[in-house]
Structure 1
């Protein structure tokens, strides 16, 4: 089937390039995109190789061979990759007339465009749909942060009528002119995504302006860009509400647009390898109902606006906060594995059932959300299979809510409040060492062993097969 898919895409590519075949509709494109994955933290790093190994053709081939049909490639074009330093322009209001730059000041490195083109060709040659996504650390620091007046980003903020705001806007648009020109003759299986997660910084009005301008830039470059599908989102609100903020004027101005959103809710679960988030279990009726409601709202909006949807990112931290480089568990725990698998599976199947395409977030084995281990070319198999729909018959362990552990931090003892009989319970340290605990179902108190101070995982298995993982800070005074 994979080879037939490749052949079909190859035929489409040849005819579109040589005979000017009309673009398929956005709805058909989303259907073709299906199930995909991000190649995160590679070309979006300030320097390729800083956050993950440099991209190789084998990496992309492995993605295709696994059965994914789309890759989203986050790419940063700012920093050293594009000329023209805008920092000399004033950030103050009313200084826009002092701007003296031109589009020619902002030139993307030709060698970098060559590298981007090489990677895109690898993907297209594997029969994949490829999404070029403007995304990265320097994109935030040099452009997106400048729109946000929040105290956190005050050092970056520029007044809308400042010379620097004019310069930064022109630089962003100049980059898109060069991207559009370089790839205008490429197969329709290359899609452009205007910008990653702007809604944390730009208002809906600001984002409507940016969308309209870049859409016009792409269309005016000609050739296949006249009707290439373009991926857009809105401003002001994040997660499932982001596309709902796109103005009707933008949607109605172009017939080849695809709306996108990202989904990392509930953060207490998806980011639970961090110190401040500690919900390790996911998958009960309430958890799933929240997804159903939020995704349903996007579907209703999509149908009312006649614009298809692409779920560009979603995912949960590695099981137990596991680090595939150091081969150790995190200091603050992380998702229980069955819950992590179930989360990926549920969102993937929900997206496909509603007619969305998706690319799950993956940033390699140096990151906290790992699906493909770049260093040895292997997969976190259960998560990969969940995304591809290959594990729907796999039994799932049930999880337990309504569980109270105190005191926390603790020193010599803890107490549990739960209405379910416990089968066994143990402490697990960050290196995976297990310390069994004595527990009497008639006594909520549990004596703790003499261990080093630090963060532990309390693993509780109930007699009915349910389980619960909890963070426990031990501080022996």
Structure 2
């Protein structure tokens, strides 16, 4: 090698290192602000093999994420099924290419993308035996993606079940060091053990207190009986207070330790009581913004579904995630009054900025459309109630409020729904004539009518699904509901004089 070529090669090496070391300069604190509202592309790259649990990743997902208004997308990835089990633990080229393809779809749309190690069962079952393997996995990831945009973040490990506290702390420090060899200024996200709740995060040692590109994450599905199992309802003052206190404590810890926080999983499954579920998402988003958390709701194309992938559409959760804040409409309530639907709410915006308020409604088969409009808004005329005299008989009606502002922004509230209990025949019977007891109930519900013959009893859950049918010829009956989950149910009695409906709560 000539001296001239030596200096040329040396210059190329130095220049490459300079570019690599300066291309990602966004600090974690700056990143937290830019990340804002996000969503997971769950059950996609983290099953044993792509397509096992949900439709495979498609590029149009990222168009939809972008168009919806999300700023960050967490892309869980599983590596152990695609990595050799002996040294040097090489990751399969096709899998690495596939992950890079998906990452590039997001980066090309200026989204912040977070990839991680997710559902790594081999790691969880044998930390000591697998530590070197995962250090190699992370070294390969760090090298492969080192020249990517600063909008790509690395999350060290998702929910390391079965790992001891000192082990995850050792692993966090080791992996951070490996990443920093090749990505000295890329944002890295870490957390604690098990299901990485807020308390477990705050108990975990920070892997490097001097690293300005370090971020912490936690998950929130409390209470699991509601959010994860669909039992009961949510939204009492105690429920809200518990959520607020938990997220407030994380913010306090974040400030004290100068570590920004990413709430990268939360949600309530679709089997939950609908109104409770919408309110749960709304309050979680509101408090996340209040307490300076960026967030990514869990979306898995299954129990926590938000993006309807095959239909290329969204369900009601999307707008809750995108529009909710501490100034959006809250405290929606709905009830039947003389067979009409009475809707009430609280406005928290400055009345001087509101030009009009829209009342929107949809059914199970239609989209939201405007059914009423309030104009010429002032502090004295801000509406807080509406009576719908045209609700569909014997079906669910969904409502939401939309505040339109002087800058032409339109901010919808979270939705709420009600089953119209108006009798389904011309022979209208007052519901009070059907006695349902005890209410709430644990195991057996009693139904009694004075002199009206019952032909059948149907019981529907809060999602409108038929869960029990009893045929009879009597004016009273007892029905065992011990096997029903906790929640709100509707009894529809077909009688010789028409249909009756009452609700009850299963404890």
**Structure-2 separation of matches of 1:398 and 1:246:** 44
**1:291 counterpart residue number:** 243
**1:90 counterpart residue number:** none
2:213 to 245, 251, 256: 256
Q: Does 1:212 align with 2:173?
A: yes
Is the CA contact (8 Å cut-off) linking 1:338 and 1:396 kept in structure 2?
A: no
Q: Does 1:393 align with 2:329?
A: yes
Is the CA contact (8 Å cut-off) linking 1:17 and 1:187 kept in structure 2?
A: no
Instruction: Determine helix, strand or coil for the equivalent of 1:75.
Output: coil
Change over 3 Å in CA distance of 1:247–1:468 after alignment to 2: farther
1:427 to 459, 463, 483: 459
1:447 to 456, 477, 482: 477
1:133 to 116, 120, 129: 116
Is the CA contact (8 Å cut-off) linking 1:406 and 1:415 kept in structure 2?
A: no
Displacement of 1:458: 5.2
**Structure-2 separation of matches of 1:407 and 1:446:** 19
Displacement of 1:292: 1.1
More strand per residue:
2
Displacement of 1:305: 0.5
Is the CA contact (8 Å cut-off) linking 1:336 and 1:469 kept in structure 2?
A: no
Could you state the TM-score of these two structures normalised by the residue count of structure 2?
Answer: 0.65
Could you state the TM-score of these two structures normalised by the residue count of structure 1?
Answer: 0.69
1:379 to 307, 314, 317: 314
Instruction: Determine helix, strand or coil for the equivalent of 1:143.
Output: helix
**Structure-1 separation of matches of 2:171 and 2:103:** 25
Displacement of 1:171: 0.5
- The Cα offsets for residues 3-39 of structure 1, whole Å up to 9 and x where unpaired, read as xxxxxxxxxxxxx969935512211100000000000
Change over 3 Å in CA distance of 1:446–1:313 after alignment to 2: farther
- The Cα offsets for residues 372-429 of structure 1, whole Å up to 9 and x where unpaired, read as 111211111x211111125932662379xxx954451x3xx4489xxxxxxxx97216
2:192 to 195, 219, 234: 234
Instruction: Determine helix, strand or coil for the equivalent of 2:287.
Output: helix
Change over 3 Å in CA distance of 1:244–1:395 after alignment to 2: closer
**Structure-1 separation of matches of 2:468 and 2:439:** 20
**Structure-2 separation of matches of 1:454 and 1:467:** 17
Change over 3 Å in CA distance of 1:17–1:41 after alignment to 2: farther
Q: Report which structure shows greater RCO (CA 8 Å, sep ≥6).
A: 1
Displacement of 1:265: 0.3
Structure 1 unaligned spans of 5+: 1-15, 86-101, 148-164, 322-334, 417-424, 438-444, 472-477
- The Cα offsets for residues 223-252 of structure 1, whole Å up to 9 and x where unpaired, read as xx111110001236841112212215x232
**1:71 counterpart residue number:** 73
1:23 to 22, 25, 44: 25
The alignment of Structure 1 onto Structure 2 pairs a total of residues equal to 362
Instruction: Determine helix, strand or coil for the equivalent of 2:332.
Output: coil
Change over 3 Å in CA distance of 1:63–1:469 after alignment to 2: farther
More helix per residue:
1
- The Cα offsets for residues 203-241 of structure 1, whole Å up to 9 and x where unpaired, read as 2211111011001101112xxx11111000123684111
Is the CA contact (8 Å cut-off) linking 2:439 and 2:505 kept in structure 1?
A: no
Answer with 227-236 or 427-436: which moved more.
427-436
**Structure-1 separation of matches of 2:476 and 2:441:** 10
**1:360 counterpart residue number:** 297
Q: Does 1:83 align with 2:102?
A: no
Q: 1:25-40 to 2 correspondence within 5 Å?
A: 25-40=27-42
Q: Does 1:42 align with 2:21?
A: no
**Structure-2 separation of matches of 1:447 and 1:369:** 37
**Structure-1 separation of matches of 2:20 and 2:197:** 40
Q: 1:117-196 to 2 correspondence within 5 Å?
A: 117-136=100-119, 139-140=120-121, 142-147=122-127, 165-166=128-129, 168-196=130-158
Q: Does 1:303 align with 2:255?
A: yes
Larger radius of gyration: 2
Structure 2 unaligned spans of 5+: 1-17, 336-437, 449-456, 492-501
Instruction: Determine helix, strand or coil for the equivalent of 2:76.
Output: strand
**Structure-2 separation of matches of 1:467 and 1:131:** 45
Displacement of 1:338: 1.2
CA RMSD of aligned residues (A): 3.2
Is the CA contact (8 Å cut-off) linking 1:40 and 1:361 kept in structure 2?
A: yes
1:243 to 185, 201, 213: 201
Displacement of 1:433: 3.6
Displacement of 1:467: 7.6
Is the CA contact (8 Å cut-off) linking 1:259 and 1:310 kept in structure 2?
A: yes
2:264 to 312, 335, 352: 312
**Structure-1 separation of matches of 2:55 and 2:32:** 30
Instruction: Determine helix, strand or coil for the equivalent of 1:290.
Output: helix
**Structure-2 separation of matches of 1:468 and 1:431:** 14
Is the CA contact (8 Å cut-off) linking 1:40 and 1:74 kept in structure 2?
A: yes
Displacement of 1:354: 0.8
**1:331 counterpart residue number:** none
Displacement of 1:131: 0.2
